[in-house]
């Protein structure tokens, strides 16, 4: 039997003396598949992404990429296949946006080699896709938070990954750019076969774009499956401890939630 492109096998991780932040999580992702990780604050979503990228090493269990244990691979080997878009990035230097995006080529540059014309072409194409080419010569510090986020999307695309890990990718984005970024990620998944794993607080967005959802509660997998299997009132009420209504998006047919105010409950 052929191994999945990405496999997490009963993975656990905890910080110091704390309980497990990620507790026995198993997950498999195929090429071209778009998987969403949802759950309340503190459920372990960001920690799980860091484990999948090799930034953290599991204290129990194992993660395999194309059948190879992640722990056996160098950071450069991982970065040549995996790109991560973190939730928060601090810029310490006054780089231009193009210089930030070109950082995505670093895993492919040996020694002291500088970026060549082909690297710049890849970077500029990524900026065009993310709608940031007009910012190429501007300092990253001059951009709004939403514009910075789109530049970071371009940097991840410039890495030309086979696995793209996204931590709240639409944070700070206006609605139109939320749709543009998510449409772009879906095209990468469907047309170029990129495997995508996204952590998101936006349940409706995840249900609209993801093939499968993994619902975490207190570090454990509470439920996983197709969006219509995970997004239901009984399951979400238990996890989020709030009252909500689940129906269907009239345009796409995807499940969606509407929160019910405690003040207006009938």
For position 174, what pLDDT does the model report? 86
Q: pLDDT at residue 203 above 80? A: yes
Average pLDDT of every residue of the chain? 91
pLDDT at residue 1 tops 90:
no
Sheet holding 34-38, edge to edge: 82-85, 163-167, 195-199, 34-38, 212-217, 220-225
Say yes or no to pLDDT of 265 above 70.
no
pLDDT of residue 228: 95
Query: For residue 112, what is the DSSP state?
Result: T
Domain coordinates in residue numbering, the chain: 1-81+162-240, 92-160
- How confident is the model over 107-150, as pLDDT tens digits? 998 766 778 899 999 999 999 988 899 999 999 999 988 888 88
Q: What is the mean pLDDT of residues 147-156?
A: 90
Give the residue, 58 or 262, on which the prediction is more confident: 58
Q: What is the pLDDT of residues 59-104, one digit of tens each?
A: 999 999 999 999 999 999 999 999 999 887 878 788 999 999 999 9
Q: What percent of the chain has pLDDT over 70?
A: 96
Which residue would you say has higher pLDDT here, 262 or 116?
Answer: 116
- Predicted confidence band at 57 (pLDDT cuts at 50, 70, 90)? very high
Q: What is the pLDDT of residue 2?
A: 58
Residue 22: per-residue pLDDT: 96
Q: What is the pLDDT at residue 15?
A: 86
Distance CA 200, CA 168 (A): 5
Confidence category of residue 264, pLDDT binned at 50, 70, 90: low
Q: Is the pLDDT assigned to residue 266 strictly greater than 60? A: no
pLDDT given at position 207: 96
**Interior CA angle at 64 toward 19 and 217, to 5°?**
30
Cα gap 56→49, rounded to integer Å: 9
Q: What CATH topology corresponds to 1-81+162-240?
A: Rossmann fold (3.40.50)
Of these ranges, 147-151, 166-170, 179-183, the one predicted with the greatest mean pLDDT is 166-170
Q: What is the pLDDT of residues 188-201, one digit of tens each?
A: 899 889 999 999 99
CA dihedral (26, 47, 206, 123) positive or negative: negative
User: 178-181 — which CB contacts under 8 Å span 24+ positions?
Assistant: 178/205, 180/130, 180/131, 181/130, 181/150, 181/153
Positive or negative torsion for Cα 22, 26, 31, 37: negative
pLDDT value of position 252:
93
């Amino acid at each position: 039997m052929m191994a999945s492109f990405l496999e997490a096998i009963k993975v656990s991780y905890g910080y110091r003396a704390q309980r497990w932040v990620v507790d026995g999580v198993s997950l498999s992702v195929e090429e071209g598949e778009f998987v969403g990780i949802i759950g309340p604050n503190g459920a372990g979503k960001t920690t799980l992404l860091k484990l999948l990228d090799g930034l953290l090493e599991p204290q129990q269990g194992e993660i395999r990429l194309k059948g190879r244990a992640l722990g056996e691979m160098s950071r450069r080997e991982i970065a040549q296949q995996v790109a991560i878009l973190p939730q928060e990035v601090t810029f310490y230097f006054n780089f231009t946006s193009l210089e930030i995006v070109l950082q995505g080529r670093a895993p492919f540059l040996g020694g002291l080699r500088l970026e060549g014309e082909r690297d710049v072409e890849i970077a500029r194409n990524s900026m065009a896709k993310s709608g940031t080419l007009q910012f190429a010569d501007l300092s990253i510090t001059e951009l709004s938070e939403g514009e910075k986020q789109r530049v970071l999307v371009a940097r991840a695309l410039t890495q030309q990954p086979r696995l793209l890990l996204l931590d709240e990718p639409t944070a700070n984005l206006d609605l139109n750019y939320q749709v543009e970024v998510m449409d772009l990620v879906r095209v990468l998944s469907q047309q170029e076969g990129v495997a995508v794993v996204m952590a998101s607080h936006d349940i409706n967005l995840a249900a609209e774009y993801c093939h499968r959802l993994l619902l975490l509660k207190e570090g454990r997998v509470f439920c996983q499956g197709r969006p219509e299997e995970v997004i239901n009132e009984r399951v979400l009420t238990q996890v989020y401890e709030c009252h909500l209504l689940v129906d269907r998006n009239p345009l796409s047919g995807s499940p969606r939630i509407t929160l019910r105010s405690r003040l207006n409950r009938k």
